[in-house]
Amino acid sequence: MTVLGSRRIDSYWVLVLPLLLLLVALYVYPVVKVLVVSVTDPTTGLGNYELLATNSGIQKMLWVTLRICVITSAITMLLGYIVSYVLVHVGERHRLWMMLFILIPFWVSVLIRSFSWLILLRPDGLVNDVLVGSGVVGEPLDLVRNEIGVVIGMVHYMLPIAVLPLYANMRGIDRSLVAAARGMGAGPFEAFWRVFLPLSLAGVAGAGLLVFIFSLGFFVTPAILGGGKTIMIAEYVSIQILTIVKWGTGAMLSVVLLATVALLLMAMSRVINVREMFGAK
Amino acid sequence: MGSERTSWQFCLVVGLAWLILLFLLLPILVTVPVSFTPERYVSMPEFGDWSLRPYESVFSGDQWLNSMGQSFVIACAATALSVVIGTLAAVGLWRLSSRLADMVRWLALLPLIVPPVVSALAFYQVFVQIKRLVGLRMLDSYIGLIVAHGILAIPFVVITVSAALANMDLRQEQAARSLGANMRQTLWHVILPNLKPGILAGAVFAFILSWDEIVVTLFVTSRRIFTLPRRIWSGIREHLDPAIAAVATLLIAVTIIAVVVAVLMRRRKEASQEG
Amino acid sequence: MTAFLKDCAVIAADNLRSGRIDRRTFTKICALAGVAPAAAGLAGRAQAAGEIVVANWGGDAVDAYANGWGIPFTEDTGVEVIIDGAGPLEGKIKAMVDEDNVIWDITDNDMFSAMNLGRQGYLEKLDYSIIDKDKVRPGYWHEYGICDYNYSFVLAYNKDAFDGDEPTSWADMLDVDRFPGKRTAWQYGMGAAEAFAMASGVAPENLYPIDIPRALGAAQSISDDMIYWGSGAESQQMFLDGEVTMGCIWHTRASVLERDTGGAVTWTWADGLFCPAAWLIPRGAPNVDDAQRFIASAQDPAGQIEVLKALGNGPANPEGSAMLVDDPELSRIDPGFAPNLAQQVPSDQEYYSHEFDNLLGAWLDGIATG
């Protein structure tokens, strides 16, 4: 690399510096201080971490969290992919309308959104009225105050969060490549499957990761739509820290969360070039 | 492209997409009627029994409007902060491949992964420390909440901008550099214009995150700052105030009007250009 | 000499305000000068002398406390009372005291929180030379907290859903045939554990320590019909929306439901759980002296009855409950009114002060699906 080249690369650090300074001073440092409490409260040592092996309540909560977040993320990504794909391929006016539909729900606070879903999904709500009225089912389904309701509510919240970065990524895909494949005789589905989809995978991975990590932090929606029976990690940690003041346990669970995501990123980096996901070339 | 657009497979996919969008809109079908309920609690009004009571309570006194104003200011500022810092960092990381850069990428995700209440506690403690060290009051102040929300939004901006960068042609940047453009020029004229959708997406997330944020806000503010989410959550012990449905409906209406105006203005510009 | 010393303290207060000295030094100076920090004019929280902040749970309670307790106190003493509805969760109190950044002079919590936090050194001791032990029911005072009002967990039910048949005890919660529909109880276990323990046959006298597995067993026997509320609003909404027909909820919500449904939803005091809320003073609060005086002033039955009217909170002062004898409406909703109280079971706050986290953890685990 020429001298000019290496200086060029170094100068990019200047762009990163503000983020680094802000984050380290005002976030990383105090968060680490809180996480350290996991080994100091109530006594020094790994007692809090032992709970992972001994406390069945914590284990159940972690399992429920994982299950719900994986299912929610998968569904969200599938639906989000369809919407993003269409967004990228339709005309400008059409796209504007779609964007409107995607962005409007953002204005509805998560609390009222959850209560709205409650009203919709109740045994006497709109959804069940339609299902029973049209004869699809004989009796109203239990769609809320359980995991199903939680998944529906979470998918709804996260769909726009999946669509926007996916769309931003898909926009950059060179569509002439797809046209070329069609020109060479591939059918529309084959052209999609073999050309477009692989090119979009980096975006899918990035959006999927975002959605999954975001879903781990949910607690309003599960609290309201879960009937009190689906407690997830964010609410659990909140209870530890705010209600029963067991900061050690709360900090320990946060460390576990961080470690899990780190492992996830590492695992993903075997399959997909994570740096590329972030755009590094 | 034409054959792609009109193939029946594509039409099917478009239909599916609209079904999904309809799903997105379902709660709105509930929120809007609820905003016209005559009761003191969230409920669907009976036909013909609609009332403007929730709207009255939003506009009477300045509580709701003040909260909305505060939330708006804070959200705008937090968005600006996170977009600027996040975009610059995303572009920088785009061209860096060292181990250290990997660590920074990780760090940029941290505010997203850490449970909200831990972030809240962390901000609280560091703000108290800042007050002690330099006398700057960040608790219960605009600047404190703007900084906190800005930091929380950074992961979103970094991710969406990076997603856009992932498919950007590197050669454009290299060409600009080889033609003698310096960093600032390359950034402004070549890279950033291509990132508009990514930056916009990040900005939208940042704004909504700040607009809806409650956990950190509860910890870091007390009397002077009373954002919209705090007003919504206050009194949740007793009843869910239909006023929040009215607020949501108003905001939706404003958004729709803004978009319609933008579309009309664009049409007028197009028409005048043709003429 | 005293004027000079007081001046030293005032200068120290100034230095504290501008950050030249820290709070510990300030307090030392005041001690040396023989002057109370509050009297020196400022305790360093940008709070004027002659002002106290009372933290409660927001909503209607902000105005209710202001009208019932705040304004009378200000009229008597000139000290301004500010009600902060931020919700004084124990964790927040701990964070504030740890960082020596207490912004609340008084908080409204449960009595067991007073015992628990007090034991851990997070609270100021109450001054019983100005607060009157005899203005609360026997035993409802403590070194670190005193009862400010009472509330109960009661059996609420929707009369219309049962064709005139009315449940009379917690055991009826388990009878899904006779009383169809879903039930609700608090997700955090308090009230729910006692209700289900009694439903499974435990006598009220033997309620504590709670046999948690037994209570959970009863709750899980109808798990398909149980949904749990997390906030008062939810518990209310569930009845209003017809999602539940019975439940263990706060009496304040039950009385609002009775009003809002024109009597279709009502409750019984039988085997209700009678709980004391309490005033606490966090350690290092800016204005401890005026806080103590406020607590004493809030013991006046007149103010407590105002709060009862606004919120439904039962007067802590038994005199206040006695005064309701001629008011059928108010006496109906006061958990401390003698005939109501006689039917209820007192909640064991000492038990909760040690066991709340265990109960909470066990209950959350026990009711979680999967």
Q: What value, to the nearest 5°, has the Cα angle with vertex C145 and ends C144 and C151? A: 155
Mutate: best of C47, C96, C102, C237, partner B, most B CBs <10 A = C237
pLDDT tens track for C312-338: 999 999 999 999 999 999 999 999 999
Mean per-residue pLDDT for B218-243?
A: 83
Over pLDDT 70: what percentage of chain B? Answer: 96
* C112 closest CA partner among C364, C363, C360, C317: C360
Cross-chain Cβ contact A280/B93 below 8 Å = yes
**Tokens matching residue B260:** 């319609």
CB contact under 8 A, B40 and C260: yes
Instruction: Give the side-chain half-sphere CA count within 13 A for C2.
Output: 4
DSSP per-residue codes, C242-307:
TSEEEEEEEHHHHHHHHHHTTTSEEEEEEEEEEEEEEEE-BTT-TTHHHHHHHHHHTT-HHHHHHH
pLDDT at C15: 60
Residues of C in contact with A150 (CB under 8 A): none
User: To the nearest whole angstrom, how far is the Cα of C186 from the nearest Cα of chain A?
Assistant: 8
Q: Do A100 and B197 touch (CB under 8 A)?
A: no
Which subunits have 3 or more CB–CB pairs within 8 Å of chain C?
Answer: A, B
For the segment C364-368, the average pLDDT, to the nearest whole number, is 90
Average pLDDT over residues C342-363: 94
Of A55, A147, A228, the CB nearest to C230: A228
Q: What is the pLDDT of residue C20?
A: 61
User: Which two tokens mark B184?
Assistant: 């600032």
* pLDDT tens for each residue of B151-197: 999 998 998 888 788 777 778 878 888 888 787 777 788 888 888 88
Instruction: Say what angle helices C349-367 and C111-119 make with each other, to 10 degrees.
Output: 100
Q: Distance (Å, rounded) from C-alpha C260 to C-alpha C72?
A: 30
Q: How many CA atoms lie within 13 A of C165 on its CB side?
A: 14
Q: Does C138 touch chain B (CB under 8 A)?
A: no
Q: Is the pLDDT confidence value at A217 over 80?
A: yes
Cα dist from A193 to A165, A188, A198, A199, B9, whole Å? 20, 9, 7, 10, 13
Residues A57, C370: C-beta atoms closer than 8 Å: no
pLDDT at C137 (0 to 100): 93
Partner-chain contact C91 A64, CB within 8 Å = no
Residue B149, CA atoms < 13 Å, CB-side half-sphere: 33
Q: How many helices (H) and strands (E) does chain A have?
A: 15, 0
Q: How far apart are CA C81 and CA B231, in angstroms?
A: 21
C228 vs A227: CB contact, 8 Å cut-off?
yes
List chain A residues with CB under 8 Å of B27.
105, 108, 112-113, 116-117, 120, 156
- Closest to A207 (Cα-Cα) out of A160, A267, A165: A165
Helix A56-89 × helix C349-367 angle, to 10°: 50
| Terminal alpha carbon distance of chain A | 15
Percent of chain A at pLDDT exceeding 70:
93
Dump the DSSP string for B13-30.
Answer: HHHHHHHHHHHHHHHHHH
Provide the pairing of β-strand C345-346 with C314-315.
unpaired
Residue type, position C137, single letter: R
Residues C103, B235: C-beta atoms closer than 8 Å: no
Per-residue pLDDT reduced to its tens digit, A188-208 = 888 888 888 888 888 888 788
C224 at B interface, C-beta within 8 A: no
pLDDT of residue C362 exceeding 90: yes
**Is the CB of residue A17 less than 8 Å away from at least one CB of chain C?**
no
Q: Does C87 touch chain B (CB under 8 A)?
A: yes
> Which chain A residues are Cβ-neighbours of B219 within 8 angstroms?
none
**What separation in angstroms does the CA of B122 have from each of A17, A39, A245, C8?**
22, 17, 15, 36
Q: State yes or no: pLDDT of C267 exceeds 70.
A: yes
- Give the pLDDT of residue B16: 93
Pairing label, strands C51-55, C265-280: unpaired
Q: Is the pLDDT of residue B6 over 80?
A: no
**Amino acid C46: pLDDT:** 41
Among candidate residues A245, A248, A243, A217, the one with its CA nearest the CA of residue A50: A248
CA angle B163, B165, B168 (to 5 degrees): 125
Residue A187 clears pLDDT 90, i.e. is over it? no
Mutate to test the interface with C, among A141, A230, A231 (most CBs of C within 10 A): A231
Q: Is the dihedral of CA B177, B181, B182, B183 positive or negative?
A: negative
Name the 3-class secondary structure at A236. helix
Nearest chain A CA: its distance from C99 CA (Å): 13
Mutate to test the interface with B, among C82, C235, C236 (most CBs of B within 10 A): C236
* Gap between the Cα atoms of C243 and C97, Å rounded: 42
Report, as an integer, the average pLDDT of A174-184: 85
Q: How many CB atoms lie within 10 A of CB B133?
A: 9
A247 close contact with C: CB closer than 8 A: yes
Task: Using a CB–CB cutoff of 8 Å, tell me whether A264 touches chain B.
Answer: no
* Greater model confidence, C246 or B103: C246
How far, in Å, CA of A28 to CA of A16, rounded? Answer: 16
Helices (H), chain B: 2-6, 8-34, 53-59, 63-94, 99-113, 116-134, 142-166, 170-178, 183-185, 192-194, 196-212, 215-220, 228-233, 243-274
B152, B79 contact by CB (below 8 A): no
Residue C80 β-bridge partners: C51
CA distance B142 to C287: 26
Element (H, E) at A275: helix A274-277
Separation between Cα atoms, residue B1 and residue B243, nearest integer Å: 48
Question: B56-83: per-residue pLDDT in tens?
Answer: 988 987 888 999 999 999 999 999 999 9
58-77 in chain B: CB under 8 A from chain A: none
Indicate whether C38 pLDDT > 60: no
Q: Which residues contact A3 (CB under 8 A, 6 or more apart)?
A: none
Q: What element of type H or E holds C151?
A: strand C145-158
Quick check: B197 and A171 in contact, CB under 8 A? Answer: yes
State whether A57 and C362 contact (CB < 8 Å): yes
Distance from C-alpha of C370 to C-alpha of C328, rounded to nearest angstrom: 47
Which H helix or E strand runs over C345? strand C345-346
Say yes or no for a CB contact (<8 Å) between B223 and C19: no
Instruction: Compute the radius of gyration of chain A from its Cα atoms.
Output: 23
Chain C positions touching A223 (Cβ under 8 A) are 230
**Which carries the bigger pLDDT value, residue C241 or residue C252?**
C252
Residues listed for chain B? 275
Work out the pLDDT band at B36, boundaries 50, 70, 90: very high
Minimal CA separation from A250 to chain C, in Å: 11
Per-residue pLDDT tens digits for C73-114: 999 999 999 999 888 999 999 999 999 999 999 999 999 999
What is the spatial distance between Cα C88 and Cα C106, in angstroms, rounded to a whole number? Answer: 9
| CB burial string A186-223: b at 16+ within 10 A, e below | bebeebbeebbeebbebbbbbbbbbbbbbbbbbbbbbb
pLDDT 10s digits, A68-89: 999 999 999 999 999 999 999 8
Residues within 8 A of A (CB atoms), B 168-207 only = 168, 170, 177, 183, 187, 194, 197-198, 201, 204-205
Cβ of C38: how many Cβ atoms within 10 Å? 22
CA A50 to chain CA centroid, nearest Å = 29
Structure confidence by residue, pLDDT tens digits, C101-111: 999 999 999 99
Whether the per-residue pLDDT at B4 is higher than 60: the answer is no
pLDDT at position C49 over 80 = no
Nearest CA distance, B207 vs chain C (angstrom) = 24
Q: Which chains touch A (3 or more CB pairs under 8 A)?
A: B, C
Minimal Cβ distance to C94: which of A124, A224, A245: A245
> For residue A275, what pLDDT is reported?
54
Higher pLDDT, C10 or A202: A202
Residues of A in contact with C89 (CB under 8 A): 242-243
**Using the beta-carbon criterion (under 8 Å), do C236 and B41 form an inter-chain contact?**
yes
C364 interaction partners in chain A (CB closer than 8 Å): 57, 61, 231, 236, 239
Q: Which helix (H) or strand (E) holds C17?
A: helix C2-17
Contacts of B164 in chain A (CB under 8 A): 165, 168-169, 171-172, 279
Distance from B263 to chain C by nearest Cα, in Å?
Answer: 41
Q: What is the pLDDT of residue C30?
A: 57
d(CA B28, CA B242): 14
Q: Which of C243, C245, C352 to mutate to test binding with chain A, by most A CBs within 10 Å of its CB?
A: C243
Residues of C near A (Cβ–Cβ under 8 Å) read 89-92, 94, 187-188, 223, 226-230, 234, 237, 241-243, 356-357, 360-362, 364-365, 367-370
The Cα-based distances of A5 to B104, B186, C40, C176 in angstroms read 22, 15, 65, 77
A57 and C365: CB-CB below 8 Å?
Answer: yes
Please give the mean pLDDT across all residues of chain A: 86
pLDDT confidence tier of residue B267, bands split at 50, 70 and 90: confident
Which of B40, B128, B236 faces C231 most closely, judged by CB atoms? B236
Q: Does B4 touch chain A (CB under 8 A)?
A: yes
What does R_g of chain B's alpha carbons equal in angstroms? 23
pLDDT at A3 over 50: no
Taking the Cβ of residue A193 and every Cβ of chain B, the question of whether any pair is shorter than 8 Å is answered with no
Q: What is the pLDDT of residue A122?
A: 85
Question: Cβ of C233 and B239 within 8 Å?
Answer: yes
CA distance C313 to chain A (A): 22
Of A20, A30, A206, the CB nearest to B163: A206
Tokens of C69: 């307790």
Q: Which residues contact C224 (CB under 8 A, 6 or more apart)?
A: none
Interface-testing mutation among A239, A247, A249, A253, with chain C (most C C-beta atoms within 10 A): A239
B5 confidence band (pLDDT: 50, 70, 90): low
What's the rounded Cα separation, in Å, for the pair B8 and B53? 49
CA dihedral C185, C189, C192, C198 (to 10 degrees): 160
Please report which residue ranges of C55-208 form alpha helices under DSSP H.
Answer: 60-65, 71-77, 90-98, 111-119, 192-199
Share of chain C above pLDDT 70, in %: 86
The predicted pLDDT at position B3 comes to: 47
Question: Is residue C42's pLDDT more than 50?
Answer: no
Is residue C18 pLDDT above 60, yes or no? no
Q: Can you state the angle between helices C90-98 and B116-134, rounded to 10 degrees?
A: 30
Residue B2 clears pLDDT 60, i.e. is over it: no
- CA nearest to C359 within chain A: A244
Exposed / middle / buried, residue C39 (Cβ in 10 Å: 0-12, 13-18, 19+): middle
